[in-house]
Structure 1
Amino acid sequence: MAYQYTKPVIKRILLLFVIIFISLDITSCKLSKKKENNVQSFLEDELKEAETKGSKCALKKINVKSVNQIRWTKTAKEVIPCAIKLLAENKNDGFIWSVLGTLYDNADQSTDANFCFKQAARLTGKITPFIKQWNYLGPFVIGKTEFDGDPVEAYGGIYNVSKYREHKNQKFYSEFSPGGEITWQVYNQRQPKDVMKIAPTVNWNELINTLSSMGITEWQGWVVGEFSLNDDRQNVALQCLGHHTIYVDGIPVTGDVYHRNQFFFGLQLNRGLHTIYVRLRGKVGANLMCSLQVKQVPFEVLNPHYLPDIVDGHVFGKHIAIPVANYHFSKWIKISKIKLVDQSHGNDITFELLNQVNIAPGQILPVNIVFELSEILPCENIQLKLKLMTSEGNKDFLVNLRCRKLKESFLFTFLDHDGSVQHAAAIYPLSDCMGESCPVVLTLHGTTVPPQNQADSYKYMVDKEFVYGVNGAWLLAPTRHGAHNWEGPGVLTAMTALDTLAKLTDEYSWLTIKADQERVIFAGHSMGGHGALNLATHYPDRALALISLAGWIKKEEYGDSNLFFRHDIAASHVDPGVKFIMESSITENDVDRHVSNLKHVPVLIRTGAADKTVPPFYLRRMYRLLREIGAMVNYTEPEGKEHWWWDTKDTNDGGVVNDKYIRDFTTKALEQKLGYCRDDNCKQVSDNKYSKQDYSFTYTCVNPAFGEGLQGFQIIQQVTPFRLSQIKGALKDDTMVVDTTNVLRFSYRKNNSKLSQFKSLQVDGSSVKNLEDKLKISSTVYFCKNTDAWEVCTEDLEDSRGPSSYGPARRVAEKKFYIVIGTQDPKAAVYIQKFAVYIANLFFLTSDTPAVVIKDEELEIDQIENSNLIIIGSPKQNSRTEMYINKIPVEVKDSSFSLSNCKFSDPRSGLLTLAPKGKDNLALVLMSNSYEGLYDVISLATPTIPPMTRSPFSNLLPDYVVTGPEYGLKGPGGFLCTGFWGNSWEYRMDISSCVC
């Protein structure tokens, strides 16, 4: 029964509500008045106290700008009276309360600071959610290297220059500005999600035309802004989209250049004002959006970037990488266990951690987990609820696995060369291979193309139905996040995917057709076209054929993305010897330099005649070079076709990567099997593959660490590392006659090619005796040069360098590695840990690589036995540094270090160097004479080529680099020494730029 009220009752109730409301309002007004009186009293008392102590405001005009001018350059005692007066006129401005609170903290007046921050928190919250005013200085010219110079360094660097950003007549100098002068400008941000768009007023068209260069449109500059944190011990997180590195109070923090939005990075900050510095790098314009949060949880489980598919109810690849972000202001988080909470259908899938790991404060680490199916599942998508168990609590998260039919393209994951979880797409062969395992068409995608899209582009229509895949071959489309250009980590990921596909198909009994990783057609489009050339030139003994579509030759000559010392600040300063060393560290990826390795590989290269993205010029050059060496090459330029097309002659005929022309070439290459034979006498090889005049080869190599050799020959060691080496061979009757250039050690492994069907071997005029007997004992025979003669030797290199221990610096990340931080100096340990977290986050953001950070005192030898190390800190700062520095000609003293006879004693000198870690592993040591020097060395990890980024240390860095006091201003022009270690880790003048 509903209640019924009479009108008088209703009136009394309404009157009561009015009285309560008025009372609350009066109470609120009284409290507000009390707070206002408290604030007014506080400000009056503080001003009197300051003046009593002799501190008076010297400003004639008090406003935000004038107070900023003095607070960035004067002591807290001098600024406090001015800040109080400013606040008296702006009592409801939370940011100014934070300003005064910070001044009191700096003056050790914590009680007064507490009051100010309490007011600030009441008005603006615990943290400034975004920066309202940015000060911008630029544009300046910049080059394409990761570490070009900064013109602001000539005036003390951004941390000094920005103190005067509110002053008039602050002039700087730039080639971009008419008259050659630029000044600070102000950009205001109104809303948290507003994108700050920096568009320098430059006549770009004039520059492009007069300099005949698109590269000139890239520029650098700085933006600076402040935010306030109004409470201590907060889990502060920062996200900056559009740029790879942000500096918070001078400490580098990783930004998200890829705009993936889910990544915030934890900061370890005390209450007060903090400054963000962003070294902008833009092309015509630049965008930036930074957000700040106080996280209510100490960690977060983020969405995985990719997941494996279930294939016909079976597991195909069992690895998943789950990114975990540690936002805690001080604690490391231990990941201890993964547990299945719920599953949509089928018997429970089992999950376990690959390893227990600790995540440093501020770090995002992909945590690797593995899973197994106990039985075949129905081919339906599976919803899973998992629980991650940590030292800071547990977190549930969802994972959805889709199921794909065997005849469809599917994704699988695998554990890569560097310990990361990567993924690839694959398609089962359209037909079997007569009872044998099937070759693999390894197809590499262009920029931003997902692997499944690449795989599914291998289609054509038959009777109104698309047919996907390749007859008589597995189709494999690997991928790797980041701007690797199918070089370095990209190449190794592709080859690991290939080997994994063969391993998994061999293990899984439910697959009747296996994959053969030794018989490969390397293919690719655009960036993938370059990748196909790169893989085929370095793994030619696996190559059945090569298909490069719309590819380019070397990144430094393609477009304007990687110009080598063209517009750089460093170009005015760099020593020619430094340029030689830097270029030598990337020459291994110049496919034209390695073209001789393709002489006996059938090649198809094609580019659209109207392609403006990758002009036909590049593949025309490859066509010329291939013809010059007598290679079997097919080259076409379809009229009117641009960079990509779906239809070559007919609708849905396979298009750019899979039309009839390419399918016919592929079929022929698969049937021919590269002249391989199956009987002992090799009588079945057709004469159209090897004619009498081409029973010869030239194997070219720049870095023995990259690739597998040619015709069974592999260079193991060079006379002069990182210089061109060659083995030229010619089959004369039953003898292989070999001449070598810059080769100190090589190996030979017999294979099934025609050029391997010899009975005796002659090297540089010396005959090798009993070769066939030696090959019966071991499948691989090693040869060493002793003075002028060659002799058979063992595989053991003892303490000298070879493929597993050659540089350059980037090779430290070409297998699983740890970042070891020094803890021996408590003051230095703070910034060393932050530097390590920055590098670790860079590896994750740029290439999905897990970089575990570990303290020197917690490192266990068994844990790192087969791993590489990045070691941060000098011997006094890091207990692990000395054992590796002692293995190379570097001597460290109290305030200096020496490399051979060169001594570096300037406080801002820093060293990056490889050192041996056992026979087959590497350590990369980062150390310096000071904080500033270490800051410079850490910056060598900084990635570029926006809007993408390369992996840290992956470009232009040799075995060692010494940075000097002018490195910040001159970039590589400030390198004091660069070079490569010799075969016994000795210093060599011929492969060093040092002049001392």
Structure 2
Amino acid sequence: MIKQNLYAKIAGFLLLAAISTQNIPAQNIVTIFGQEKVEKTEEGEVSHNFRNGFLLPGGTNPGTLFNGQDMIAWMYATGNFITPKDGAAIGYSYPNMDGQVEDSYLRWLAQSKGENAMKLLPQWTWTAMDADSTGLFKRPELRSAFLYTSYDSPKEQIVLLETTGGTRTYVNGMPHEGDHYDFGYTLTPIKLKKGLNEFVYTPGRFGKVASKLVKPEKPVMFTKRDMTIPDIIIGENDSKWAAIRVINTTEKPLQGLTIRATFADGRKEEYKTQDIMPLTVRKVKYKIPAPANNNGSEGGNIIAKIELLDKSGKIIDQTDVEFRQVLPSVHHERTFISQIDGSVQYYSVAPAIRKNTGETKAMVLSVHGAGVEARNQARAYSSKDWTDIIAATNRRPYGFNWEEWGRIDGLEVLEEAKRVFQPDKSKIYLTGHSMGGHGSWFLGTTYPDKFAAVAPCAGYPDIASYGRGKGDAMHDDNSTYDAFKRGGNGGRVVSLAKNLKQSGVYIFHGSADSVVSPSNARRMREVLGKFHPDFCYYEYPGGEHWFGNHSVDWNPIFEFFSRHSIPEAKDVKEIDFHTASPAISPTDYWIKVEQQIKPFDFSNVQACLDKDTIQVIKIDNVALLVLDIPSLMLESKQIAVNIAGQTLSVPTDKEAIFALENDKWQVKGEVNLKHKYSGRYGGFKNAYGNNVVFVYSTKGTAQENEWYQNKARFDAETFYYRGNGSIDVIPDTEYTVAKYADRNVVIYGNKDNNRAWPLLLKNSPIQVGKGMITADGKTFTGDDLGTYFVYPHPNSNTASVGVVAGTGDAGMRATSPNNYISGITGFPDLMIYRADALKNGLTGMEAAGYFDNDWTLTNKDF
């Protein structure tokens, strides 16, 4: 998707010597009994290391905006998977691939076996491969090749699968999250069957895979890998949020759990934490009590005993966790609860120098580069006397490229930090490095009224133009796939760049940057030069991608920031607002776009305030517009709004709502919350938010129930891995509207096998059942149909319902990829596709597009 070596290079630049507060991997322990060596991890004894396998080169054709193409997923979905043998050929290929295999594999073959070997090579050929002496399967072609291993189990048993390297792992055909960023904390409880068990690892970004099976020490236990823990701030006497993972290797859910945290001085706090589904590892939250006498001037580490209790109060497991205790003047970490999924997230602080407690300062939001923790980002800055510097996490070191859930994380951190530090609201700024340079461009263009000035460092504007996914070519070759391009418009910084003209911009880049070319900065200099009255540009002579802390802690940037302020709404007389979707960015000062004519296409509103008149000079692709008239603090009781040749008079004591109906603008009394609006607008990916709960089917066949339970588990694993997430995953028998009121729901299954369907989707214009999908009168038949779509929750004005479903075995398995849990993919409101989409890409689509603003399909924008 992105340049394969980009993130690997970037990860080495930004102070990675510091140990992350989030990533505390367990080390393997070797115990010697006589001549035998028993390899152990903190979670149990290693029962098997995978040493032999088969390589299938060239099996993927990735794309940035959609799932790409996945030959293994297609073979599993359509029943074409055959246990590999050395030299066995796969008689299938992607369209327009001309029988070509991956170039890197051909080069390796020529070097190791001679030129003649290539002439004899059939397309899609499995080749035997052994791990090296360290247990690592490693070749460059593993960046784009599948790896197969197997294990002959003497009995049915539950083990932990620990892998590094692959994006996902198919275990006997069931998908699970891999470890493609080499974080080193992937643990997957799996139930082995007696006899042959097959494992297929999809390509990873670093060209290596290691895999082992671990016999769990306990059926339920803590693991200290990847904890989220706060610092304890001296002088602050409130409890803090923390999170730790619990492994459930049983086939029953863990419910009614409590976590008790106790300090040596006797202070304790109990918290009833989240439930945990069968055969999973979930990161659950708990509270750390404020230690006694926390008003001294000395820091130091303190240890808390963390206990896991069942519903009867019995201790299941316990461990010790060390917390850092620091003064508020020291760089430190804080935690909060995310509204995306109720999980614990953290941010880091480079605090301002304060002579007196409570001094009002400015605030800078700094967004980190790929592979960099927020903790390390904050420590690249020295403390300033006039501003706090807040480093958000993007949910993970790679996370979501500061788009989608990374974007939301940045906004959540900003709001939480404002609550804690109470800054001058007119002195809020944005900067970031590398991927965070992109984040600065993206967040700055998307939220132009939130920042007084923006400073992208070593950044690139658009992901789509920066990537190289071969699968994206089809988006440009055929207008049929316009829905997917529109779905990704939120990240098109260049198309939204005019939003930046109301903020100061400082572009900073090394002239010798070989990771992110300075051509990206020069391109934006050219773009801004056509309209922007207030930007600076500086290339650091000879500067590589990272040339020391001044790669971000650059004094001229902070001097530039100090000269800029966010005006009050009443002082903003002109607005030129661009947005790709109200779901992402609806507001700019006193203008709010609630609906578009064409969803996820670009909208533009140009307006000016002239005494007691608002002139809407230009309005494109807007169906519902709201003007925040009270924020203008006008003296008159009425104001005239000239819009598209019409003059409409509205009172100044409330918001003015204008709807486009039959090509005429009408004044409305309220926004219809049952229709699309900025708080619930669509785009399938937006179902994965608002404290979402996953609900899997139990009413189908045993095969269907197993698949949908695993699919929901897999999506939760992926959201955890990519986004430090913690999702409630429940069977349909446990779901009630009252218990999960106003929360988003993702249903895994269809109307025939998921009991929650009639509660939430009986009035949906899309119905999915055995062998058939109907969409507003159109019927699609076959057992190989899969679908994703989003629809409003019938009992809520804010919640949405997402659907992941198939019409039969092939259709439900066609839903196995989950690249909708990615910051840069473009997924419209609805998609209906054949299983062959896994092999053929978007040409396998039957229908895709968007609901109308009233959530019907009347306009056929699909």
Q: What range is the shorter-chain TM-score in?
A: 0.7 to 0.9
Q: Is the 8 A contact 2:692 2:744 kept in 1?
A: yes
Task: Give, in whole Å, the separation in 1 of the partners of 2:390 and 2:630.
Answer: 24
Render the CA deviation track for 1:361-389: whole Å, top value 9, x for unaligned.
Answer: 22111111123427551433221112111
Residue in structure 1 matched with residue 130 of structure 2 by the alignment = 188
SS at match of 1:800: coil
Compute the TM-score of the two structures, normalised by the length of structure 2: 0.84
SS at match of 1:134: strand
| Larger proportion of strand | 2
Q: Is the 8 A contact 2:180 2:205 kept in 1?
A: no
Q: Which residue of 146, 150, 161 maps to 1:238?
A: 161
Residue in structure 2 matched with residue 930 of structure 1 by the alignment = 808
How far did 1:626 drift? 2.0
Task: Give, in whole Å, the separation in 1 of the partners of 2:404 and 2:483.
Answer: 18
Structure-2 change in CA distance of 1:621 and 1:879 (3 Å): same
User: Is residue 307 from structure 1 mapped to residue 187 from structure 2 by the alignment?
Assistant: no
Structure-2 change in CA distance of 1:984 and 1:737 (3 Å): same
SS at match of 2:180: coil
User: Is residue 820 from structure 1 mapped to residue 820 from structure 2 by the alignment?
Assistant: no
User: Is residue 142 from structure 1 mapped to residue 61 from structure 2 by the alignment?
Assistant: yes
Q: Is the 8 A contact 1:548 1:604 kept in 2?
A: yes
User: Is residue 656 from structure 1 mapped to residue 551 from structure 2 by the alignment?
Assistant: yes
Q: Which residue of 174, 182, 203 maps to 2:100?
A: 174
Task: Give, in whole Å, the separation in 2 of the partners of 1:723 and 1:702.
Answer: 6
Unaligned regions of 5+ residues in structure 1, if any? 1-124, 201-217, 460-467, 506-513, 647-653, 683-689, 944-950
How far did 1:493 drift? 0.5
Residue in structure 2 matched with residue 407 of structure 1 by the alignment = 329
Task: Give, in whole Å, the separation in 1 of the partners of 2:84 and 2:552.
Answer: 57
Render the CA deviation track for 1:706-763: whole Å, top value 9, x for unaligned.
Answer: 1252231010111221121111113445432103111111222258789999954322
How far did 1:527 drift? 1.2
Structure-2 change in CA distance of 1:455 and 1:750 (3 Å): farther
Q: Is the 8 A contact 1:541 1:712 kept in 2?
A: no
SS at match of 1:863: coil
Q: Is the 8 A contact 2:263 2:291 kept in 1?
A: no
Residue in structure 2 matched with residue 384 of structure 1 by the alignment = 304
Residue in structure 2 matched with residue 55 of structure 1 by the alignment = none
Which deviates further from its counterpart, 969-978 or 151-160?
Answer: 151-160
Residue in structure 1 matched with residue 430 of structure 2 by the alignment = 522
Task: Give, in whole Å, the separation in 2 of the partners of 1:314 and 1:293.
Answer: 42
Q: Which residue of 580, 593, 596 maps to 2:498?
A: 596
Structure-2 change in CA distance of 1:491 and 1:524 (3 Å): same
Task: Give, in whole Å, the separation in 1 of the partners of 2:778 and 2:615.
Answer: 44
How far did 1:517 drift? 5.4
Task: Give, in whole Å, the separation in 2 of the partners of 1:756 and 1:611.
Answer: 54
How far did 1:130 drift? 2.8
Structure-2 change in CA distance of 1:768 and 1:518 (3 Å): farther
Residue in structure 2 matched with residue 970 of structure 1 by the alignment = 840
Which deviates further from its counterpart, 576-585 or 483-492?
Answer: 576-585
How far did 1:971 drift? 2.3
Render the CA deviation track for 1:882-916: whole Å, top value 9, x for unaligned.
Answer: 34333332234542111124322121111111111
Task: Give, in whole Å, the separation in 2 of the partners of 1:623 and 1:735.
Answer: 35
Task: Give, in whole Å, the separation in 1 of the partners of 2:846 and 2:665.
Answer: 39
The total of aligned residue pairs comes to: 782
Which deviates further from its counterpart, 978-987 or 470-479?
Answer: 470-479
Task: Give, in whole Å, the separation in 1 of the partners of 2:49 and 2:604.
Answer: 58
Larger radius of gyration: 1
SS at match of 1:887: coil
How far did 1:920 drift? 1.2
Q: Which residue of 624, 643, 654 maps to 1:745?
A: 624
User: Is residue 902 from structure 1 mapped to residue 783 from structure 2 by the alignment?
Assistant: no
User: Is residue 839 from structure 1 mapped to residue 710 from structure 2 by the alignment?
Assistant: no
Q: Is the 8 A contact 1:825 1:876 kept in 2?
A: yes
Structure-2 change in CA distance of 1:707 and 1:879 (3 Å): same
Residue in structure 2 matched with residue 579 of structure 1 by the alignment = 481
How far did 1:860 drift? 2.5
Task: Give, in whole Å, the separation in 1 of the partners of 2:633 and 2:729.
Answer: 50
Task: Give, in whole Å, the separation in 1 of the partners of 2:626 and 2:180.
Answer: 44
Unaligned regions of 5+ residues in structure 2, if any? 1-43, 93-98, 107-117
Q: Is the 8 A contact 1:599 1:697 kept in 2?
A: no
Which deviates further from its counterpart, 739-748 or 149-158?
Answer: 149-158
Which letter does structure 1 place at the counterpart of 2:441? L
Which letter does structure 1 place at the counterpart of 2:509? T
Structure-2 change in CA distance of 1:368 and 1:439 (3 Å): same
Task: Give, in whole Å, the separation in 2 of the partners of 1:596 and 1:199.
Answer: 42
Task: Give, in whole Å, the separation in 1 of the partners of 2:205 and 2:514.
Answer: 23
Structure-2 change in CA distance of 1:862 and 1:372 (3 Å): farther
How far did 1:850 drift? 0.8
Q: Is the 8 A contact 1:887 1:915 kept in 2?
A: no
Which letter does structure 1 place at the counterpart of 2:381? Y
How far did 1:473 drift? 2.4
Structure-2 change in CA distance of 1:564 and 1:152 (3 Å): closer
1:508-907 equivalent positions in 2, closer than 5 A:
514-516=422-424, 519-558=427-466, 560=468, 565-566=472-473, 571=474, 576-646=478-548, 655-669=550-564, 673-676=565-568, 696-738=574-616, 739-750=618-629, 760-772=640-652, 775=653, 778=654, 780-827=655-702, 828-892=704-768, 894-907=770-783
Q: Is the 8 A contact 2:74 2:814 kept in 1?
A: no
SS at match of 2:230: coil
Q: Is the 8 A contact 1:389 1:395 kept in 2?
A: yes
Residue in structure 1 matched with residue 189 of structure 2 by the alignment = 266
Which letter does structure 2 place at the counterpart of 1:412? R
Structure-2 change in CA distance of 1:287 and 1:988 (3 Å): farther
Q: Which residue of 362, 366, 369 maps to 2:283?
A: 366
Q: Is the 8 A contact 1:817 1:852 kept in 2?
A: yes
User: Is residue 318 from structure 1 mapped to residue 240 from structure 2 by the alignment?
Assistant: yes
Q: Is the 8 A contact 1:783 1:793 kept in 2?
A: yes
Q: Is the 8 A contact 1:164 1:170 kept in 2?
A: no
Task: Give, in whole Å, the separation in 1 of the partners of 2:830 and 2:461.
Answer: 27
1:118-267 equivalent positions in 2, closer than 5 A:
129-140=48-59, 142-145=61-64, 147-150=67-70, 160-163=80-83, 165=85, 173-176=99-102, 177=106, 179=119, 181-182=122-123, 183-189=125-131, 194-200=135-141, 220-232=144-156, 234-267=157-190
Task: Give, in whole Å, the separation in 2 of the partners of 1:376 and 1:929.
Answer: 62
Task: Give, in whole Å, the separation in 2 of the partners of 1:953 and 1:443.
Answer: 19
Which letter does structure 2 place at the counterpart of 1:885? L
The root-mean-square deviation of aligned C-alpha atoms, in Å, is 3.2
How far did 1:793 drift? 2.2
Q: Which residue of 967, 973, 980 maps to 2:850?
A: 980
How far did 1:826 drift? 4.4
Q: Is the 8 A contact 1:547 1:605 kept in 2?
A: yes
SS at match of 1:581: helix
How far did 1:316 drift? 7.2
How far did 1:126 drift? 12
SS at match of 2:318: strand
Task: Give, in whole Å, the separation in 2 of the partners of 1:789 and 1:171.
Answer: 58
How far did 1:223 drift? 2.6
User: Is residue 921 from structure 1 mapped to residue 835 from structure 2 by the alignment?
Assistant: no
Structure-2 change in CA distance of 1:390 and 1:235 (3 Å): farther
SS at match of 1:938: coil
Identity of aligned residues (%): 21
Structure-2 change in CA distance of 1:358 and 1:770 (3 Å): closer
Structure-2 change in CA distance of 1:666 and 1:753 (3 Å): farther
Structure-2 change in CA distance of 1:626 and 1:874 (3 Å): same
| Larger proportion of helix | 1
